[in-house]
């Protein structure tokens, strides 16, 4: 309340982060750390006979996101507070978040995530903060009281959005920003007419319909299905949020002319891109502005972050659906487009092909609204999430736009919060860092972990470093045994890949390595190997057949490997079920090796790569996303690099990629794939994995086979290095010491300085001290 009051009275410029997803994870441990009262809470608990760790285990996590994009939003909210930047996070209060994953007979099964079952102690319902949101209907022209011709929207149905606020605490600061999530409900006076005519059921049904809008998170990671409910969700939260911002502005600053000076709105991918059209509608239709003025404000308000180049993930909506649901917004999109394309024509005389490519409407076939183009045109800044990605954004996806407006394009490399992913997840490592550096300031200024470097040769530190890793591996082994019955040896190399399942991330490349190790051991050629635990975690989109088949393959290979006494002293395979924020916190501290093996050019940034590295895992990775910058930061000699570059991959695709030739010419690769087809891993079923193996041999869209040999060679180097324990330890220490740049605090400071132009606003604690 103190923060809100100060922001209000000081008219502080405020960031509004618009995101359809927030993958928050449990709040309690993070809030205790940020308040500096973890030990106090533990002691008080003991006095009361309560075990803090047991309490932390109990907490449900709000899984209101799919993967990297949603978790990034959560890290950014925490860093915004830590960096004293006035901010509001806007989103949807999904009643059911990302599904819980169970593994049955090796297959993923989805269970609903009923996270609100026992209530949510962190949220504050705000019944007075409610807005109505319309859908459908028609638009009409009329003359206002000054005789001007205006447009208005008569929606066919109206629902309400009610605010639920969660305070997001910063580390060691009195500042608390708001995460404001909207819940959909029927308007209080729902369909009275139906009531009066006796259609009680119909009226109640409409009521239920309204509430479905914030019911469930769409579980798709990258690809987008054009679902009507999804468009309704997007418009719902965007409309509530824009109305709320206007209300706040009118209540505090005053006239809407200065709206863009008070607020900057960051679009987290295209999911909230409708906000551009909605702010235009509110300014034009509800606040009687003219087009030029409304557009000037709108365009100065928004900035847009792109998170993927995968063509199937780029959102488009069919014009007919858009028109049926949002007729007024379609008119506005058309008018934005008309003016924009005139500008393009003027700049590039006679280049109609360019006009086609840049249009907000895709023509030819079913006409569709291109949300990415709307986001670029409606924003004053556009950014990618890692240097390579931002370069590709300019060179490929938005090439035409970068030629028109080069100054609009930026890079801000992602980061993650060290509070959650080091201090909360890995208290032992944190204590060791604090003891070695002699201060805790690295927690707020992660660059200062660099002070570890001075001690890298210290045998005592190396010894303690290994003990910390060893203890985390022991913890994970125990948990894994409880959860899955798979026994892991803490002495073995923990080789971990944890992220959403997607072909471009190439979990199956790692599976081919397991099969290769298996065959080598069976053939008595284990001399180059080290004992390894191959660990996987991650969910597949429920409708993504190939991703689910890869999960099944991992578990099938695991069943054979783990039950074969000839090999299971060497290798084990474990699938950690239900990879979420909480389980991630168990995994990162225990990893020796972090697998970041996507086909170069496909992973926009990756953030798991940073979380593993911060916890002392070494990375085996391609030159993709933020791997490139992590490798530069930690030093090429402390990173296991393999595979084609993005450019090489593209080149090879264009000159005709023939995976079957690689398959035929590499005897080991052929025997690994043939072993899958033999039925060894499927109780004699030779067809089960055919869709996967056939796809690899005949199409291989993500060039697994092209990188197979380089990957195996690199894994050999990994094993050799692991055998040199002091060397591995030094590399691990240096990974942590040089990871400072990948704190989300740094990312937020870059957004603040280069994109948002906001300055920190310190909150003086009112009632007392903040630790």
CB-nearer residue toward ligand NTF: 7 or 218: 218
Shortest Cβ distance from residue 76 to ligand NTF (Å)?
10
CA distances for 410 relative to 314, 402, 490, 556, angstroms: 19, 10, 44, 44
| Residue from the set 601, 606, 616, 740 that interacts with ligand NTF by CB under 6 A | 606
Shortest Cβ distance from residue 306 to ligand NTF (Å)?
8
Catalytic residue selected from 500, 539, 586, 738: 500
Among residues 201, 233, 228, 227, the alpha carbon closest in space to that of 95 is found at 233
Q: How far apart are the first and last CA of the chain?
A: 18
Catalytic residue selected from 370, 469, 499, 572: 499
Catalytic residue selected from 93, 389, 502, 505: 505
Q: Which two tokens stand for residue 570?
A: 């060497």
Sign of the Cα torsion 336, 339, 342, 344 reads negative
CA gap 672, 514 in Å, rounded: 9
CB-nearer residue toward ligand NTF: 176 or 755: 755
| Residue from the set 430, 607, 622, 732 that interacts with ligand NTF by CB under 6 A | 607
Among 180-188, 523-531, 601-609, 631-639, which window interacts with ligand NTF (CB under 6 A)?
A: 601-609
604 makes contact with ligand NTF (CB under 6 A): yes
Judged by CB under 6 A, how many residues of this single chain contact ligand NTF? 18
- Helix intervals (H) in 588-639: 608-614, 627-634
624 makes contact with ligand NTF (CB under 6 A): no
Shortest Cβ distance from residue 65 to ligand NTF (Å)?
9
| Residue from the set 313, 355, 362, 483 that interacts with ligand NTF by CB under 6 A | 313
CA 634 to chain centre: 23
659 makes contact with ligand NTF (CB under 6 A): no
For 79-123, give the DSSP string: HHHHTT--EEEEEE--SB-SPEEEEETTEEEEE---TTTT--TT-
Shortest Cβ distance from residue 397 to ligand NTF (Å)?
12
Among 278-286, 306-314, 545-553, 562-570, which window interacts with ligand NTF (CB under 6 A)?
A: 306-314
Please, are residues 688 and 551 in contact by the beta-carbon 8 Å criterion? no
Shortest Cβ distance from residue 109 to ligand NTF (Å)?
23
| Residue from the set 78, 495, 503, 603 that interacts with ligand NTF by CB under 6 A | 603
Residue partners of 249: CB distance under 8 A and separation at least 6: 256, 258, 259, 262, 263
- Decide: residue 251, CB within 10 A, 0-12 exposed, 13-18 middle, 19+ buried: exposed
| Residue from the set 79, 308, 426, 492 that interacts with ligand NTF by CB under 6 A | 308
Among 63-71, 136-144, 334-342, 723-731, which window interacts with ligand NTF (CB under 6 A)?
A: 63-71
282 makes contact with ligand NTF (CB under 6 A): no
Sign of the Cα torsion 141, 142, 148, 151 reads negative
Q: What angle do CA 60, 65, 67 make, to 5 degrees?
A: 110
Q: Are strands 361-362 and 368-370 parallel, antiparallel or unpaired?
A: antiparallel
CB-nearer residue toward ligand NTF: 133 or 540: 540
Q: Which residue has the tokens 């606040």?
A: 287
Q: Which two tokens stand for residue 112?
A: 């609903």
CB-nearer residue toward ligand NTF: 313 or 362: 313
Please, are residues 615 and 421 in contact by the beta-carbon 8 Å criterion? yes
Shortest Cβ distance from residue 603 to ligand NTF (Å)?
5
584 makes contact with ligand NTF (CB under 6 A): no
Catalytic residue selected from 607, 693, 721, 729: 607
CA distances for 461 relative to 215, 553, 757, angstroms: 50, 40, 42
625 makes contact with ligand NTF (CB under 6 A): yes
CA distances for 651 relative to 22, 595, 657, angstroms: 37, 25, 9
Q: Which two tokens stand for residue 98?
A: 């990302």
CB-nearer residue toward ligand NTF: 298 or 613: 613
505 is catalytic: yes
Q: Which two tokens stand for residue 585?
A: 């916190």
Q: Would you give the binding string for ligand NTF spanning residues 349-388, x where CB under 6 A is met? A: ------------------------------------x---
Catalytic residue selected from 262, 281, 611, 631: 611
Among 56-64, 65-73, 88-96, 564-572, which window interacts with ligand NTF (CB under 6 A)?
A: 65-73
CA gap 757, 688 in Å, rounded: 55
410 is catalytic: no
455 is catalytic: no
Catalytic residue selected from 130, 271, 281, 307: 307
CA gap 254, 542 in Å, rounded: 47
417 is catalytic: no
393 makes contact with ligand NTF (CB under 6 A): no
281 is catalytic: no
307 makes contact with ligand NTF (CB under 6 A): yes
Shortest Cβ distance from residue 221 to ligand NTF (Å)?
6
Please, are residues 15 and 86 in contact by the beta-carbon 8 Å criterion? yes
| Residue from the set 605, 729, 732, 735 that interacts with ligand NTF by CB under 6 A | 605
- Count how many residues are written for the chain: 771
Residue partners of 396: CB distance under 8 A and separation at least 6: 309
Among residues 93, 147, 83, 130, the alpha carbon closest in space to that of 115 is found at 93
Number of neighbours of residue 727 by Cβ within 10 angstroms: 12
Shortest Cβ distance from residue 743 to ligand NTF (Å)?
15
Shortest Cβ distance from residue 385 to ligand NTF (Å)?
4
How many Cα atoms within 13 Å fall on the side-chain side of residue 160? 14
269 makes contact with ligand NTF (CB under 6 A): yes
11 is catalytic: no
31 makes contact with ligand NTF (CB under 6 A): no
CB-nearer residue toward ligand NTF: 389 or 520: 389
CA gap 168, 76 in Å, rounded: 10
Shortest Cβ distance from residue 75 to ligand NTF (Å)?
10
Within residues 67-96, the interface with ligand NTF by CB under 6 A covers 67-69, 72
CA distances for 229 relative to 90, 157, 309, 329, 763, angstroms: 19, 14, 24, 17, 40
Shortest Cβ distance from residue 575 to ligand NTF (Å)?
22
Footprint on this chain of ligand NTF (rule: CB under 6 A): 67-69, 72, 221-222, 269, 307-308, 313, 385, 414, 603-607, 625
Active-site positions read 307, 499-500, 505, 607, 611
């Amino acid at each position: 309340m103190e923060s809100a009051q100060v922001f209000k009275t000081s008219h502080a410029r405020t960031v509004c982060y618009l995101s359809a997803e927030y993958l928050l994870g449990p709040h309690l441990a993070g809030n205790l750390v940020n308040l500096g009262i973890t030990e106090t809470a533990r002691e008080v608990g003991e006095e009361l006979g309560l075990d803090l760790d047991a309490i932390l285990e109990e907490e449900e996590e709000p899984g209101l996101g799919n993967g990297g994009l949603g978790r990034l939003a959560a890290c950014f909210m925490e860093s915004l507070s830590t960096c004293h930047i006035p901010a509001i996070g806007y989103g949807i209060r999904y009643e059911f978040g990302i599904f819980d994953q169970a593994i049955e007979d090796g297959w993923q099964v989805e269970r609903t995530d009923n996270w609100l079952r026992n209530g949510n102690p962190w949220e504050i319902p705000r019944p007075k903060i409610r807005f109505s949101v319309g859908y459908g209907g028609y638009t009409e022209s009329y003359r206002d009281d000054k005789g001007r011709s205006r447009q208005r929207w008569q929606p066919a149905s109206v629902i309400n959005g009610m605010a639920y606020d969660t305070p997001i605490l910063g580390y060691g600061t009195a500042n608390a920003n708001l995460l404001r999530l909207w819940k959909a409900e029927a308007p209080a006076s729902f369909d009275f007419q139906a009531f009066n005519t006796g259609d009680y059921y119909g009226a109640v049904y409409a009521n239920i319909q309204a509430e479905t809008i914030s019911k469930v998170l769409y579980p798709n990671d990258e690809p987008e299905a054009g679902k009507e409910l999804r468009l309704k969700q997007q418009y719902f939260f965007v409309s509530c949020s824009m109305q709320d911002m206007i209300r706040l502005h009118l209540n505090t600053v005053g006239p809407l002319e200065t709206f863009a000076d008070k607020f900057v709105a960051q679009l987290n991918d295209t999911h909230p891109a409708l906000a551009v059209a909605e702010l235009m509608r509110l300014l034009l239709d509800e606040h009687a502005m003219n087009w030029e003025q409304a557009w000037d404000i709108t365009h100065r308000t928004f900035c847009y972050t792109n998170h993927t180049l995968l063509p199937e993930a780029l959102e488009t909506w069919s014009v007919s659906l858009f028109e049926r649901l949002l007729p007024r917004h379609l008119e506005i999109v058309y008018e934005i487009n008309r003016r924009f394309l005139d500008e393009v024509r003027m700049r590039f005389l006679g280049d109609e092909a360019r006009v086609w490519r840049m249009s907000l409407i895709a023509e030819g076939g079913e006409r569709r609204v291109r949300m990415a183009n709307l986001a670029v045109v409606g924003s004053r800044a556009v950014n990618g999430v890692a240097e390579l990605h931002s370069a590709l954004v300019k060179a490929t996806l938005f090439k035409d736009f970068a030629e028109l407006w080069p100054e609009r394009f930026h890079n801000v490399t992602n980061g993650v919060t060290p509070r959650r992913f080091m201090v909360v997840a890995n208290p032992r490592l944190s204590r060791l860092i604090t003891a070695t550096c002699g201060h805790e300031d690295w927690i707020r200024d992660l660059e200062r972990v660099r002070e570890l470097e001075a001690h890298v040769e210290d045998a005592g530190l190396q010894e303690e470093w290994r003990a910390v890793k060893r203890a985390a591996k022991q913890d994970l082994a125990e948990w894994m045994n409880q959860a899955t019955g798979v026994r892991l040896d803490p002495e073995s190399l923990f080789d971990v890949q944890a992220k959403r399942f997607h072909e471009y991330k190439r979990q199956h490349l790692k599976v081919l390595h397991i099969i290769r190790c298996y065959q080598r051991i069976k053939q008595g050629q284990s001399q180059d190997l080290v004992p390894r635990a191959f660990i996987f975690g991650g969910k597949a989109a429920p409708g993504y057949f190939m991703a689910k088949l890869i999960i099944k393959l991992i578990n099938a290979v695991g069943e054979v490997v783990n039950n074969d006494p000839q090999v299971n002293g060497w290798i084990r395979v474990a699938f950690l079920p239900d990879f979420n924020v909480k389980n991630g916190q168990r995994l990162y501290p225990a990893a020796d090796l972090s697998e970041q093996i996507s086909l170069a050019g496909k992973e926009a940034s990756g953030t798991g790569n940073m979380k593993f590295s911060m916890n002392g895992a070494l990375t085996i990775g391609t030159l993709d996303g933020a791997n490139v910058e992590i490798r530069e930061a930690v030093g090429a000699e402390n990173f296991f690099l393999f595979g084609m570059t993005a450019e090489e991959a593209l080149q090879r695709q264009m000159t005709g990629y023939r995976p079957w030739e690689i398959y035929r010419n590499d005897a080991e690769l052929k025997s690994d794939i043939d072993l899958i087809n033999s039925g060894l891993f499927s109780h004699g079923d030779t067809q089960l994995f055919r869709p996967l193996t056939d796809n690899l041999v005949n199409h291989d869209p993500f060039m697994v086979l092209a990188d197979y040999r380089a990957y195996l060679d690199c894994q050999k180097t990994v094993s050799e290095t692991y055998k040199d324990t002091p060397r591995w330890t030094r590399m691990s220490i240096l990974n942590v010491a040089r990871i400072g740049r990948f704190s989300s605090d740094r990312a937020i400071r870059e957004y603040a300085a280069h994109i948002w132009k906001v300055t920190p606003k310190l909150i003086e604690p009112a009632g007392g001290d903040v630790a």
